[in-house]
Structures are given as C-alpha cells and as structure tokens.
C-alpha cells in the first residue's frame, strides 16, 4: 500500500514525456515545416517590383499614382 503513486508515475511519466515529444515532432513536421516551405517557395520567385507596379496601377497608393493619371 506504499508508493502507489510512485509506481504509477514510473510507468506513466516516461510515456507522457515520450508522447509529448512525439506530438511536438509530429506537429513540427506536418504543420510548421510545410508552412515554412510554402513561404520559402512563394518568395523564391517573388518579384517585388512587378508586384509594386501591379499595386500602383490598381491605384492603392497615395504617394505614387497609376501611370494613367
């Protein structure tokens, strides 16, 4: 009748730690890494000037007007 909690912990604590690490690893490799890759892929071929000109022509800026005006 002694050490019942200790016995339980000795069994469950390693499992708890292992499971936490597995879940964290799973999240990292199924969510965060694909996200980072998606960003990287997007910006690899990103042309800032092209996007700027598209925005300029759309007329959203105040400091520079579309080429038409």
Size of the site for other proteins (CB under 8 A): 9
Least distance (Å) between residue 13 CB and other proteins: 7
Long-range contacts of 63-67 (CB under 8 A, 24+ apart): none
Residues numbered 5-64 forming contacts with other proteins, rule: CB under 8 A: 5-6, 9-10, 13
Taking CB under 8 A as the binding criterion, the range among 3-11, 21-29, 32-40, 56-64 that sits at the site for other proteins is 3-11
Answer whether 50's CB lies under 8 Å from 59's CB.
Answer: no
Least distance (Å) between residue 54 CB and other proteins: 59
Distance (Å, rounded) from C-alpha 44 to C-alpha 40? 6
Interface residue list for other proteins (CB under 8 A): 1-6, 9-10, 13
């Amino acid at each position: 009748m002694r050490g019942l909690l200790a016995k339980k912990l000795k069994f469950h604590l390693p499992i708890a730690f292992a499971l936490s690490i597995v879940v964290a690893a799973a999240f990292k490799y199924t969510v965060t890494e694909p996200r980072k890759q998606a960003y990287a892929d997007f910006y690899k071929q990103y042309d800032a000037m092209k996007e700027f000109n598209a925005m300029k022509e759309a007329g959203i800026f105040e400091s520079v007007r579309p080429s038409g005006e």
